[in-house]
Amino acid sequence: MRGKFLKVAVAATATAMLATACGGGSDDSSDNAGQSGGTLRVYNAEPAFLTPSGGDDEPSLYVIRQLYRGLVKYNAQTSAVEMDLAESVESADQKLWTVKIKSGYTFDNGEPVNADSFIRSWNFAAYSPNAQNNGYFMKRIAGVKDLQSEDPDGEGPQKAPEPKAKELAGLKKVDDLTFTVELDAPFSGFPTTIGYPGFFPMAQACVDDIAKCNETPIGNGPYKIDGSWQHNVGINLVRSEGWKGEAGKPDRIEYKIFADVDAGYAAFQAGELDVMYTVPPARYKEAKATYGDRMFELAGDSFTYVGFPVYMDEFKDKRVRQAISLVIDRQSIIDAVFDGRFAPATGYVAPSFEGARENVCSYCTKDAAKAKQLLQEAGGWPAGKKLTLWANAGAGHDQWLQAVGDQIKAELGIDYELKVNLQFAEYLETADQKKFTGPFRLGWGPDYPFMETFLYPLYGSDAGSNNSGYKNPAFDALMKEGDSAASMQAAIPSYQKAEDLLVEDLPVIPMWWRKEAAIYSENVDQFVWNAVADADYGATSLKQN
């Protein structure tokens, strides 16, 4: 097949129209779906972990999502929650959830996928001495605090004691295929959270020897590992005969591991990869020109914002914050600095999310006259004081932040300085300790497709990632109202009201959403992009000949 490169190229040009028509993430009807078979070769970076409890970064999740399956999955276009291994996930009070699991599913080693396999996995993740990255996601389940040990003297010589409990008090097995989950507080969005790989089940054999399970995963999904994880080289998956659900399209998925995205792009150009879920920023324009109809683009849900240290006197008045946001022309910066790889943000919730509204933020489009007036009403900017703009070093943020500073200086006459010398680790520690002395760049990606993930974790009074120090009891109350609404749909109006408070108070300036750009080769028949889980390799089909 590789020898027939030119013929394939000609054929592909001829069917280019067709390919775009049915490619690009449209997997709506099964009769229209591509044929199964073939080997899909995909770009990947080296994953961190291949266990559901450990893997929380993009390269890990891409592999885990094909090896494992969870209670629910997400619709490719609408990101709506659909039952996967679960028969039902129901609650009367949004606090005590009953989960019923379909029977007949097994792990690759023959162990059944039952209530125990989920309880085991969640307990293992939450127990802090296990130091699993996804322990974070268990935070809503009742009793999670008892599984986390606190060091009595911080950095001192004493070791942290054993946690009080080994198992989450909120998880109770009812029968083999039923268990209940009690949350600390009502949360209507619970069903959306459990489609995240951190909530996927684990076999007893896996938990018993987690190191081995990481190298040779014992999955329960449509694919299983062929051999074991070849670190820094590749991971090969083949169809799993034990899988009872909808089968994957390719017979085999080969993840080729690259340390450098440019090296991956060169391999794609040389025809060695079928899918690259990302494109090197510097090659974006070229890739778009070369692979135009084989490039898939979507305004994603990766959020960049410039936060205000609301704990500082200068930024306490919301009119100052509004004025600064009003002088930023987002689109011009995106075009000049990023070749259009972002979409301007006009609200706090990703546009693809249910309940998101366009142009909800009236201070997010440029209006210099209004900005000057607001700043004047607020009493102006302290004379002679420089505005310090913060970003972490070495990630290319200084360029666009300078553009932001220039626009502020030009319209409002506020002189600025850049503080862009902190490495990422120290920068994040500065954020955790609330030591920023001026507007700071940070980002956010959703944990699950539910409006709440963009609101409470960043702006709730006691939320972990609330780096601006914003506190608004009305906001907290509205979030609580949404959390305890009767259903996910019923929660949306409350969350929207909460977002309305944010667009008025502006604790952070919404900047832009990253556009996802993936490229695929001529061998690919239908490329499927899931709005939540990103590139879906199991659903992507190859041309058969």
Is residue 258 close enough to count as binding another protein by CB under 8 A? yes
Minimum distance from CB of 47 to another protein (Å)?
A: 8
Neighbours of 98 (CB within 10 A): 15
Could you tell me how far CA 459 lies from the centroid of its own chain? Answer: 18
266 binds another protein (CB under 8 A): yes
Q: Which of 191, 97, 189, 79 is nearest to 456 (CA)?
A: 189
Distance CA 515, CA 302 (A): 8
- Residue 422 interacting with another protein (CB under 8 A): yes
Nearest 10 degrees: Cα torsion 156, 161, 164, 168: 80
Among candidates 522, 523, 526, 521, which has minimal Cα distance to 28? 526
Using CB under 8 A, pick the residue from 233, 282, 312, 410 that binds another protein: 233
Query: Amino acid identity of 339?
Result: D
What DSSP line would sit under 116-133, residue for residue?
HHHHHHHHHHH-GGG--G
- Cβ distance to another protein smaller for residue 377 or 426: 426
* Residue whose CB is less far from another protein, 185 or 263: 263
246 binds another protein, rule: CB under 8 A: no
Helix (H, G, I), strand (E, B), or coil: what is residue 285?
helix
Examine residue 263 and tell whether it contacts another protein (CB under 8 A).
yes
Determine if 286 is a binding residue for another protein (CB under 8 A). no
Decide: is 135 part of the binding site for another protein (CB under 8 A).
Answer: yes
Tell me: does residue 153 bind another protein (CB under 8 A).
Answer: no
CB 354 within 8 A of CB 446: no
- For another protein, give the closer residue by CB, 51 or 117: 51
Q: What are phi and psi of 344, to 5 degrees?
A: -60, 140
Regarding 377 and contact with another protein (CB under 8 A), the answer is: no
* By the rule CB under 8 A, 226 interacts with another protein: no
Contacts with another protein, 331-370, as mask; x by CB under 8 A: ----------------------------------------
CA dihedral 148, 152, 154, 156 (to 10 degrees): -130
Return the residue of 92, 259, 289, 369 that touches another protein, per CB under 8 A.
259
Q: Indicate the pairing of strand 524-526 with strand 541-542.
A: antiparallel
Cβ at position 7, least distance to another protein in Å: 9
Minimum distance of another protein from residue 159's CB (angstroms): 8
- Residue 430 CB, nearest approach to another protein (Å): 8
Question: Which residue's CB is nearer to another protein, number 235 or number 343?
Answer: 235
CB atoms within 10 A of CB 226: 13
Alpha helices in 58-131 (DSSP H): 58-67, 115-126
- Taking CB under 8 A as the criterion, the residue among 32, 35, 103, 230 binding another protein is 230
* 424 lines the binding site for another protein (CB under 8 A): yes
**Nearer Cβ to another protein, position 47 or 70?**
47
Report the distance separating Cα 465 and Cα 493, nearest Å.
24
For position 443 contacting another protein by CB under 8 A, the verdict is: yes
283 scored as a contact of another protein (CB under 8 A): no
Question: How many Cα atoms occupy the beta-carbon half-sphere of 469 within 13 Å?
Answer: 19
140: phi then psi, degrees, rounded to nearest 5: -85, -15
What string of DSSP letters covers 297-339?
EEEEEEEEEEE--TTSGGG-SHHHHHHHHHT--HHHHHHHHHT
Alpha helix (H) ranges present in 365-437? 368-377, 397-412, 424-432
Shortest distance, CB of residue 73 to another protein, whole angstroms?
Answer: 23
Asked if 4 touches another protein (CB under 8 A), the answer is yes
| Among 87, 167, 272, 297, interactor with another protein by CB under 8 A | 272
Q: Judged by CB under 8 A, which of 16, 142, 205, 267 binds another protein? A: 267
Q: Which of residues 74-133 bind another protein (CB under 8 A)?
A: 128-129, 131, 133
Binding residue for another protein, selected from 164, 166, 212, 231, defined by CB under 8 A: 231
Residues 6 or more apart whose CB falls under 8 angstroms from that of 116 comprise 173, 176, 204
- In angstroms, rounded to a whole number, what is the distance separating the alpha carbons of residues 477 and 106? 43
Choice between 186 and 234, CB closer to another protein:
234
Under the binding rule (CB under 8 A), the answer on residue 2 touching another protein is yes
Binding mask 33-72 for another protein (x = CB under 8 A): -------------xxxx-------x---------------
**Is residue 139 near another protein by the rule CB under 8 A?**
yes
Does position 271 interact with another protein (CB under 8 A)? The reply is yes
Q: Which of 77, 98, 106, 149 binds another protein (CB under 8 A)?
A: 149
Cβ closest to another protein, residue 254 vs residue 536 = 254
Which residues, numbered 449-508, are part of the site for another protein (CB under 8 A)? Answer: 457, 464-465, 467
CA distance 222 to 224: 7
Virtual torsion, Cα 338, 340, 345, 350, nearest 10 deg: -100
Residue 151 in the binding site for another protein (CB under 8 A):
yes
Please report, as ranges, the residues that interact with another protein according to CB under 8 A.
2-6, 46-49, 57, 128-129, 131, 133, 135-136, 139, 148-151, 155-156, 160, 230-234, 256-260, 263-264, 266-267, 269-272, 422-429, 431-432, 442-445, 457, 464-465, 467
